[in-house]
Structure 1
Amino acid sequence: MSKSTLQGIKNSLGPGLIMAAAAIGVSHLVQSTRAGAEYGFALVWAVILANIFKYPFLEFGPRYALATGKNMIRGYAKMSPVALWIFIIFTISTMFAVHAAVTIVTASLATSLTGIELSVTTWCGLILVLCVLYLVRNTYTLLDKAIKVLMVILAISTIVAMFLAFTNIGFTPQPEAIAPEIWTVSGVAFLIALMGWMPIPIDAAAWQSIWTIERMNETQYKPQLGEVQFDFNLGYIGTSIIALCFLTLGAMVMYGSGQEYAASAAGFSKQLIELYTAAMGDWAFILIAACAFITMFSTTLTVTDTYPRVVNEFVSILKSDDENVEEKRYAYLLVGVSAGSLLLLILLGDRFRFLIDLATTMSFLTAPVLAFMNHKLIHQPEVDEQYRPKSWLYWLSVSGIIFLTLFALIYLYWMLFY
């Protein structure tokens, strides 16, 4: 690899790692662990297929940004007003549930880390206020450096814990343990919830296109396609591997043990940390609690920042505002979106599993439409031939649309007729 390519990769590195920080959250800490705890290794195929078939649609985000110098939201607007409004409606309808879901997980881990017993809504309020203050003061860049280090520590700890669990515990469920049937109403509902954010919602393609543009503006460097792909693949493949690690930990420590997966936020955080301490020893408690909290806090912080930016982009496109107006509006949206998410948390209380399943299921049901839009967008005339997907990625994209549509229809069939 040439020196210039290495420097190019260094200049390009960032958006893929931010995506990884956002992804290693609810889909991994909650849903993957729960899949292993309740079903053993029976749902490994679902995790693998979701990661494979969502790959093209998320990869198209940085690819489109590099090819056109625009984010995907502006691409939707140019492609069709209908596409823009579909994305607006899907975003508005899911953002409060998504934001609330990541916040409640962060709040549960804050309780375990500090030992301070506050209500889950109080912790959520404190965390959201902290996020808003950080983002209004533009200190996210400074915090992001520390988050990436701690995310790496959590990833290494998870892999180490998985191997230690194999060595110290092994897969030894009770002889009478039987995994729940997958093809039932509750089984299909969880299957869709598991795949909904695995490894991250397809909406994140538009987010990453924004991050890619910001990275290019920051470095004043336009990378090669291979350099952008390296950054994306590093984050994407890493999150896919970590998802399987969490599923494995859940299967070996909890499946067939007689334990039930917690329905409350506080119970979940306790169980999550016990997964590590059972494999690594009690000494790991503080390390894992701190890293898990920081990882989820980074997810909450990213989502708290991203949704106001996305909504701001909608309004800017519709009203053709200048940058000064956008900056002021961002601050108002930052407070407004966080307030809306907190209101939803107050209304739902500590209905932890319900909120997580609601957010992830909504994301999965919108996925086929967003996947089709991304597939069509990357083949628009403004995308030069050199940036268009090669044959294997094209057909994987087509297969992904079929896969996501098929499972969405299966879910709707089971919900309506069983």
Structure 2
Amino acid sequence: MAESTGSVTQDGSKTQMRRASWRQIGPGIVVAATGVGAGDLVATLIAGSKFGYTLLWAAIIGCLVKISLAEATGRWHLATGRTMLDGWRSLGPWTTVYFGVYVVIWGFIYGATAMSSTALPLAALFPEVPGGLKTFAIAAGVIGLALVWFNRYAQFEKIMTVLIGIKFLIVVYVAIRVAPDLPAAFAGLAPILPDGSLLYTLGLIGGVGGTITMAAYGYWINSKGWTDISWLKMMRLDNRVAYLTTGVFVVAMLIIGAELLYASHLALASGDQGLLELGGILEQRFGPITAKLFLIGFCATSFSALVGVWHGVSLMFADFVERIQRGRKGVQENGVAEVAQGRREKSWPFRAYMLWLTFPPMGLLWLDQPFGLVLAYGVLGAFFMPFLALTLLWLLNSSRTPREWRNGLVSNGMLAGAGLLFLVLCVQQVRELPW
């Protein structure tokens, strides 16, 4: 345990604040590994291919926005001893209905998306395997299920640390390999909007670094054993490391897009297929070893997102079912303690949701062109983030949160700005649907 230092007063009682220790960082690694999937890398890559380094500032602001959201989620869990589901439930029954419908539909679509995304680079690396994409997709889902089913949080965190280490080293290596133009990169820190870049800019700020998994961050810090406000400093250090890591990914992919594609006037396909195309370009420029390494990084990126969702969103679903069934409210009903002790990881709702993520979506793998599902996944993701930002704004400015730990001006400004940004992105996603 971290040493205690200093003291604060909360509702008349003294609380010893634990010293932040680099050795205890963990949930932030998990959220960074989960939040940055292949789709985020493609979005950043395409932004770099279209505008070079010009939107680098937007990617960095996006990381700051996500830091504020994750900090608010973690602070709610630590300051109140209540989970996000408990907080949402206190706002009225509409939140329970919203989350319940959302998590079931989203999980079905995400399961197929995550398995396919993990399978794409594996099918490219091993084209001789019978069944190709479908074989690897099914294997990815089953292996992800087994890794979460048979391990508790401590082992899960180690698995995610290995996966993020692989993709971190590979993406940074490729970014260095393409020889970044450092003066142009520093110039990209100036907030400039080129013609036609508004939607790409909003997408970079709002789209990289997680959607529903940001709400899972509070569950992961509880699973780590951080269950009260004395862990606030540790949580904040952990959260900053998470989005510093995310920022490195984003900047590295923007460099790759700017140097390999923008300078050569090359365009990539949208979606995960764009990463396969990039592998071909890397092979032409730097040889097969670099290309294969990139595909391995692509696979680690997709698989870490898959495993993280299988664990984190299943924890949220288990909390949701328990509160519906037994009317539990916060720490009085062992809501947080149960997460911290790992009991929820073995509960039937936790495992049922993992099965829902894994097996029913396999049927979608036989659709040759699941264009409608891809659109639905994008729209569903866009609908969750304004819900999270605006409900956090509500919860952390009300009597539900002890006065000392409510939002200040900076937190309110960041959450309000994030909520507005995500609403704009959500409306844009709906407008782009082929009505």
TM-score range, shorter chain: 0.7 to 0.9
Please name the residue that 1:28 is paired with.
Answer: 40
Please name the residue that 1:301 is paired with.
Answer: 307
Q: Which amino acid aligns with 2:305?
A: T
Listed one character per residue, the Cα deviations across residues 281-304 of structure 1 (whole Å, up to 9, x for unaligned) are: 544344443343233212111112
Q: Which amino acid aligns with 2:168?
A: A
Tell me, yes or no, if the aligned pair for 2:163 and 2:300 is still in contact at 8 Å: yes
Residue 33 of structure 1 deviates from its aligned partner by: 1.7
Tell me, yes or no, if the aligned pair for 1:29 and 1:272 is still in contact at 8 Å: no
Alpha-carbon distance in structure 2 between the residues aligned to 1:125 and 1:339: 9
Alpha-carbon distance in structure 2 between the residues aligned to 1:45 and 1:170: 14
1:386 aligned onto 2:429: no
1:327 aligned onto 2:347: yes
* 1:304-315 map, 5 Å: 304-315=310-321
Higher helix share: 1
Higher RCO (CA < 8 A, seq sep 6+): 1
* 1:181-260 map, 5 Å: 182=196, 188=199, 197-201=207-211, 203-216=212-225, 223-255=230-262, 257=264, 259-260=266-267
Structure 2: where are the runs of 5+ without partners? 6-17, 185-193, 329-337
Residue 275 of structure 1 deviates from its aligned partner by: 6.0
Alpha-carbon distance in structure 2 between the residues aligned to 1:140 and 1:276: 37
Residue 209 of structure 1 deviates from its aligned partner by: 1.0
Residue 170 of structure 1 deviates from its aligned partner by: 11
- Identity rate, percent: 19
Alpha-carbon distance in structure 1 between the residues aligned to 2:314 and 2:139: 19
Aligned-residue Cα RMSD (Å) equals 3.7
Alpha-carbon distance in structure 2 between the residues aligned to 1:133 and 1:96: 18
* 1:97-136 map, 5 Å: 97-117=109-129, 118-136=131-149
Residue 168 of structure 1 deviates from its aligned partner by: 9.2
- TM-score of the superposition, structure 2-length normalised? 0.77
Please name the residue that 1:176 is paired with.
Answer: none
Tell me, yes or no, if the aligned pair for 1:182 and 1:191 is still in contact at 8 Å: no
Please name the residue that 2:363 is paired with.
Answer: 343
Listed one character per residue, the Cα deviations across residues 210-229 of structure 1 (whole Å, up to 9, x for unaligned) are: 11111116xx8864312110
Please name the residue that 1:261 is paired with.
Answer: 268
Tell me, yes or no, if the aligned pair for 1:26 and 1:102 is still in contact at 8 Å: no
- TM-score of the superposition, structure 1-length normalised? 0.80
Q: Which amino acid aligns with 1:345?
A: L
Q: Which amino acid aligns with 1:289?
A: L
Residue 71 to residue 277, structure 1, CA distance change in 2 (3 Å): farther
- Which residue among 164, 179, 185 is the counterpart of 1:151? 164
Residue 12 of structure 1 deviates from its aligned partner by: 4.6
Q: Which amino acid aligns with 1:130?
A: I
Residue 146 to residue 375, structure 1, CA distance change in 2 (3 Å): same
Task: Indicate the SS of the match to 1:199.
Answer: coil
1:284 aligned onto 2:302: no
Q: Which amino acid aligns with 1:305?
A: H
